[in-house]
Amino acid sequence: MPQIHRLDSRQADFRTRLDQLLAWESVSDEAVFTTVGDILADVRHRGDAAVLEYTARFDRLEKTAVAELEIPRDRLEQALTRIAPEHRQALERAAERVRRYAEHQKLSDWQYTEPDGTVLGQQVSPLDRVGLYVPGGKAAYPSSVIMNAIPAKVAGVPEVIMVVPTPDGQVNDLVLAAAAVAGVDRVFAIGGAQAVAALAYGTGTIPPVDKIVGPGNIYVATAKRMVFGTVGIDMVAGPSEILVVCDGLTDPHWIAADLFSQAEHDEDAQAILVSPDGDFLEAVAGAMDALLEHMPRAGIIRASLAARGALIRVRDLDEAVAVANHVAPEHLELSVAEPEAMARRIRHAGAIFLGRHTAEAVGDYCAGPNHVLPTSRTARFSSPLGVYDFQKRSSLIHCSAAGAADLGRTASVLARGEGLVAHACSAEYRIDPPVDDR
Amino acid sequence: MPQIHRLDSRQADFRTRLDQLLAWESVSDEAVFTTVGDILADVRHRGDAAVLEYTARFDRLEKTAVAELEIPRDRLEQALTRIAPEHRQALERAAERVRRYAEHQKLSDWQYTEPDGTVLGQQVSPLDRVGLYVPGGKAAYPSSVIMNAIPAKVAGVPEVIMVVPTPDGQVNDLVLAAAAVAGVDRVFAIGGAQAVAALAYGTGTIPPVDKIVGPGNIYVATAKRMVFGTVGIDMVAGPSEILVVCDGLTDPHWIAADLFSQAEHDEDAQAILVSPDGDFLEAVAGAMDALLEHMPRAGIIRASLAARGALIRVRDLDEAVAVANHVAPEHLELSVAEPEAMARRIRHAGAIFLGRHTAEAVGDYCAGPNHVLPTSRTARFSSPLGVYDFQKRSSLIHCSAAGAADLGRTASVLARGEGLVAHACSAEYRIDPPVDDR
């Protein structure tokens, strides 16, 4: 049987052991910071020339101009015709469902008028230009292109620029096809910290963007952190996680596969099963054992279960809910008889999968909701990637003459209370008749 | 006349000069990082004892327990009775208006059902516990307490914990009164990086929060950046900014006061006036000269105008809109004849003040919209602080048996395309009849 932690909420040190299991901190060491800082500064100052040099050095691609690294729209459309028809169909279906769900997330303008004619409101605008980082090589996931680009296009972002490294010129047709399906506007075959720098600062050829989203390795993640402020970034993702709550009545093989579907991502991924039924927990352990031999990524699964996986026995389903809220998992599966009632008691989770039939994997690809979700307990304070991440709000204040006079008096009192006389003066000018101390 | 930059869009180097004027980067030097890192680690490991030691050292407050640093609710209510009645009335009015505007921002749940019975949706929850940092001493602004705490309470956050340093035991009654009015739940008289650490990690006495908001000095800002990930944070604010677009028909004294109301914040603040009317620009310069002698903070105003202020002459109001969108200012005043039409063409601004009567200062205190706004061109990708910053979303996916089978097929194709067989397997288990290759 695969090695996995076994916890029981009746243990005196349960919470301590659970917290030890959850603890995870990404570490960018000094060397990574220095390397990335140098690349960012270099691209910022030398632009295209620096991008060409780093691409030659890291991806072994020798070009004389960054324009040669642009993958034209034709090439994306061509990829769509090259991939297997079933892949194309699946990508198009996933894109359509993700788009339909995203439409529900659009923010809109609103305003209201007060009795004295003062109008207050909020105006929503899309970002002008967004950069999407897509990892190259083995970790190239077309689903990631769809999940990141579509919400931006639904938000109304006029220009989505994708960067994807193509080491030794190796191009992934599924990724290019996904870019075509998702409506990506331009694609450059660059990667690493140099791609993040190019998007953040712009170069002669690559226009600067307003926000950079998408997953990447430690260099990419560090570069995103360092350019934050110059541009917006999405959250820096930790390892993938799933927490399954089960009453013990779902087929143990289904649950085993669900746990594996996160465990196979990488050695740091976390798969946790919580149930009041101790026999069921062992049945799932047995099912995992049987299933493991069919898994091409068995080595990764074994390592992640041994390091961070857990079978947790709780007293009852109420306690399972408490554990789920404490863990605030990226993916939460409620494999129970009445999942809606339980979901209403969940305060913290990236995505909630209700019922025995809802495999987490459909959420990764095609159910509709985004697969970019808060990890490492950050669901306590953050949300799935969505259309709202590509829109922003401006407050609107339009005072009538009467409103300006009325509000001006209140503002004047508070401004003087804070010792800010210019603020007071600016408000008082709009009070009619003028106040004495002006 | 106060020294101020004069730019003209007809100058060949206009954009370069404008960008030089806008450039601003906060620098936390190595020493600040090291000091803050040490304090964070110390509070994380030693909890209350470390908080007591730093408070004794930095605020000269010797206590034997952190509980003695808690300012009880009674004391807040007492402050409300101690301050001048006009201050109390102004605070209560501001709070009521901020609350009313914030109510419009609340996110809500939604879901939709597909023909095969699959339900997709989004569930919104408030954060469990929020920390609010309030600077002590001279920069103690009661308006900041209202602007940060009220959106959290409107979002439904059960517990808002405020920290405010009280150097030498010096307490600001206006700040405590504002906390009472805003519904802050608990207040601790601590500050600096140690307060941020206590909120992020929790101590024996101070419970850990899920997000930390509010302004602070460079140590506080650096500490917030460093605990980001463990908790959420609001944006790290740069210097305050105003950009006024005027057609030349507003009283120059009004505009001069509006520019001063940002310039008086600090030497790095930025006040810019854009107009097609060159004579008007000089009339405002003259009005500034006359007004300056009445300003208690004239020294700060002079310094900020000389360093970062500008009078910009443009060809016409269309060009003024283009300049405003490039600058993406924190505060944008449209002091023109038809401000609504112009506001619709603004893509990037924290808050837009429409019309000649709307002084930016009413927005700082009592108009309703939040005064915590994106600075340093970050309005290109971020929004005012709002209720939505204290709520988060969880995706909901509930597949019917038919939906699970249908979506499972699509997920399986895409998962196998990405080489993730456990994902495919987990989806395929829900396909009925079972597929052959399972």
**Domain locations in chain B?**
5-24+238-367, 30-104+127-233, 399-438
Cβ distance of B415 and A370 shorter than 8 Å: no
pLDDT at B186 over 70: yes
Contact B334/B342 with Cβ under 8 angstroms? yes
Q: Rounded to 5 degrees, what are φ and ψ at A388?
A: -60, -20
Mean pLDDT of B153-167: 97
Q: Which residues of chain A have a CB within 8 Å of the CB of B364?
A: 411, 415, 423
Suggest the residue from B26, B246, B362, B371 to mutate for an interface test with chain A (most A CBs closer than 10 A). Answer: B362
CA distance B424 to A359: 10
- Work out the angle between the directed axes of helices A85-103 and A142-155 (0-180°, nearest 10): 40
Give me the amino acid identity at A150.
I
Q: What is the pLDDT of residue A115?
A: 97
Confidence category of residue A26, pLDDT binned at 50, 70, 90: low
C-alpha to C-alpha distance for B398 and B228, rounded to whole angstroms: 32
Question: Mutation test of the interface with chain A: which of B394, B399, B421, B437, choosing the one with the most A Cβ atoms within 10 A?
Answer: B394
Tell me what pLDDT residue B433 has. 46
The alpha-carbon gap from B205 to the nearest alpha carbon of chain A, in Å, equals 19
Q: Encoding tokens for residue B125?
A: 């929850």
Distance CA A404, CA A387 (A): 35
Chain centroid to CA A416: how far? 44
* pLDDT mean over A331-353: 98
Question: Contact B257/A426, CB-based, under 8 Å?
Answer: yes
Say if residue A409's pLDDT is above 90. Answer: yes
Q: Give the position of tokens 């914030």.
A: B102
Checking if the pLDDT of B39 tops 90, the result is yes
Q: Does B140 or B293 have the greater pLDDT score?
A: B293
Tens-digit pLDDT profile for residues A255-279: 999 999 999 999 999 999 999 999 9
Q: What per-residue confidence (pLDDT) applies to A236? A: 79
Average pLDDT (A139-160) is 94
The dihedral over CA atoms of A75, A78, A79, A83, expressed in degrees to the nearest 10, equals -170
Is any Cβ of chain B less than 8 angstroms from the Cβ of A361? yes
**Which of 3.30.450.20, 3.40.309.10, 3.40.50.1980, 3.30.390.10 is the CATH number of A30-104+127-233?**
3.40.50.1980
B157 CB burial (10 A radius; 0-12, 13-18, 19+): buried
Would you tell me which residues 138-177 of chain B have a C-beta closer than 8 angstroms to some C-beta of chain A? 138, 141-143, 174
Residue A369 preceded by cis peptide, ω within 30: no
Which of A129, A262, A326, A392 is the best substitution to test chain B (most B C-beta atoms within 10 A)?
Answer: A392
What average pLDDT score do residues A202-230 get? Answer: 94
pTM: 0.95
Cα distance from A217 to chain B (closest Cα, Å)?
A: 17
For range A337-347, the mean pLDDT:
98
Whether A125 shows a pLDDT value over 60: the answer reads yes
Question: Which of B 38-67 lie inside 8 A of A, CB atoms?
Answer: none
**3-class DSSP assignment, residue B105:** coil
Tens digit of pLDDT for each residue in A365-389?
999 999 999 999 999 999 999 999 9
Does residue A138 register a pLDDT over 80? no
Q: Over 90: is that where the pLDDT of A10 sits?
A: yes
Mean pLDDT confidence for A405-426: 94
Is the pLDDT confidence value at B26 over 70? no
State the catalytic residues of A: 330-331
Q: Do B396 and A354 touch (CB under 8 A)?
A: yes
Residue B254 has pLDDT above 90, yes or no: yes
Mean pLDDT of chain B: 95
Find tokens 């009632």 and name the residue.
A341
pLDDT at B23 exceeding the cut of 70 = yes
> Does residue B227 register a pLDDT over 50?
yes
Place of tokens 């694609």: A187
**CB-CB neighbors (< 8 A) of B28 in chain A:** none
A87 to chain B: which residues are within 8 Å by CB? 413-414, 417
Q: Given this model, what pLDDT does residue B435 score? A: 44
- Would you call B323 helix, strand, or coil by DSSP? helix
* Whole-number pLDDT of residue B28: 65
Instruction: Report the gap between the CA of A278 and the closest CA in chain B (Å).
Output: 22
Do domains B5-24+238-367 and B30-104+127-233 share one topology? The answer is: yes
Residues in chain B with CB shorter than 8 Å from the CB of A422 are: 257, 260-261, 263-264, 295, 297, 301
Q: Compute the nearest-CA separation of B84 from chain A (Å).
A: 10
Average pLDDT over residues B24-51: 90
The span from the CA of B414 to the CA of A363, in Å, is: 12
Section B366-382 average pLDDT: 96
Would the CB atoms of A354 and B397 count as touching at under 8 Å?
A: yes
| Angle at the Cα of A244 from the Cα atoms of A242 and A250, rounded to 5 degrees | 140
Assign B54 to helix, strand or coil.
helix
Catalytic residue among B241, B264, B330, B360: B330
Which tokens sit at A408?
């001006």
For the cut 60, the answer to whether the pLDDT of residue B159 exceeds it is yes
Contact between chains at A367 and B408 (C-beta distance less than 8 A): no
Contact list in B for residue A368 (CB cut-off 8 A) is 120, 397
CA distance A407 to A115: 13
Q: What is the pLDDT of residue A124?
A: 98
B304 labelled as ligand-binding?
A: no
Residue B1: per-residue pLDDT: 74
Query: Which residues in chain B have their CB less than 8 angstroms from residue A414's CB?
Result: 87, 90-91, 94, 142-143, 365-366
- In this complex, the residue of A397, A413, A417 whose CB is nearest that of residue B363 is A397
Amino acid A41: pLDDT: 97
DSSP-derived pairing of the beta strands A232-233 and A241-246? unpaired
Tell me the C-alpha distance between A306 and B78, whole Å: 57
Mind spelling out the 3-state secondary structure of chain A?
CCCCEEEECCCCCHHHHHHHHHCCCCCCCHHHHHHHHHHHHHHHHHCHHHHHHHHHHHHCCCCCCHHHHEECHHHHHHHHHHCCHHHHHHHHHHHHHHHHHHHCCCCCCEEEECCCCCEEEEEEEECCEEEEECCCHHHCCHHHHHHHHHHHHHHCCCEEEEECCCHHHCCCHHHHHHHHHHCCCEEECCCHHHHHHHHHHCCCCCCCCCEEECCCCHHHHHHHHHHECCEEECCCCCCCEEEEEECCCCCHHHHHHHHHHHHCCCCCCEEEEEECCHHHHHHHHHHHHHHHCCCCCHHHHHHHHHHHCEEEECCCHHHHHHHHHHHCCCEEEEECCCHHHHHCCCCCCCEEEECCCCCHHHHHHCCCCCCCCCCCCHHHCCCCCCHHHHEEEEEEEECCHHHHHHHHHHHHHHHHHCCCHHHHHHHHCCCCCCCCCC
Distance from CA of B51 to the nearest CA of A (A): 23
- Please tell me the predicted confidence (pLDDT) of residue A28: 64
Confidence band for B27, pLDDT divided at 50, 70 and 90? low
Domain B5-24+238-367 falls under CATH 3.40.50.1980:
yes
Encode pLDDT of A106-115 as tens digits.
Answer: 999 999 999 9
Annotation says B330 is catalytic: yes
Residue A116 near residue A196, CB atoms below 8 Å: no
Interchain proximity A395–B364, CB inside 8 Å? no
Contact B120, A392 (CB under 8 A): no
**Using a CB-CB distance cutoff of 8 angstroms, which residues of chain B are in contact with residue A402?**
none
Residue of A nearest to B91 (CA): A414
Say whether B240 counts as a known binding-site residue: yes
The pLDDT of residue B236 is: 79
Percentage of residues of chain B with pLDDT beyond 70:
97
Q: Spell out which residues of chain B touch residue A264, defining contact as CB-CB under 8 Å.
A: 420-423
Helical segments of B83-211, H only = 85-103, 142-155, 173-182, 192-201
Q: Is B11 annotated among the ligand-binding residues?
A: no
Active site residue B331: yes
Does the beta-carbon distance from B352 to A426 stay under 8 Å? no
Q: Which of B264, B331, B360, B428 is catalytic?
A: B331
Q: What band does B437 get if pLDDT is binned at 50, 70 and 90? A: very low
What is the model's pLDDT at position A27? 66
Interchain CB contact of A37 with B (< 8 Å):
no
Q: Does the structure's ipTM exceed the value 0.90?
A: yes
Task: Give the residue on A whose Cα is nearest the Cα of B226.
Answer: A225
Interface of B with A in 368-407 (CB under 8 A): 368-370, 373-374, 376, 378-384, 386, 388, 392-401, 403-404, 407
Task: Give strand pairing partners of A113.
Answer: A119
Is the pLDDT score of A424 beyond 90? yes
Average of pLDDT values for B381-408?
A: 97
Structure tokens at B139: 């920069």
Cα B79 to Cα B88: distance, rounded to the nearest angstrom: 10
Is B122 annotated to bind a ligand? Reply is: no
Which candidate from B349, B362, B394 shows the least CB-CB separation from A352? B394
d(CA B90, CA B11): 47
Q: How far apart are CA A181 and CA A77, in angstroms?
A: 9
Judge whether A290 is closer than 8 Å to chain B, CB to CB.
Answer: no
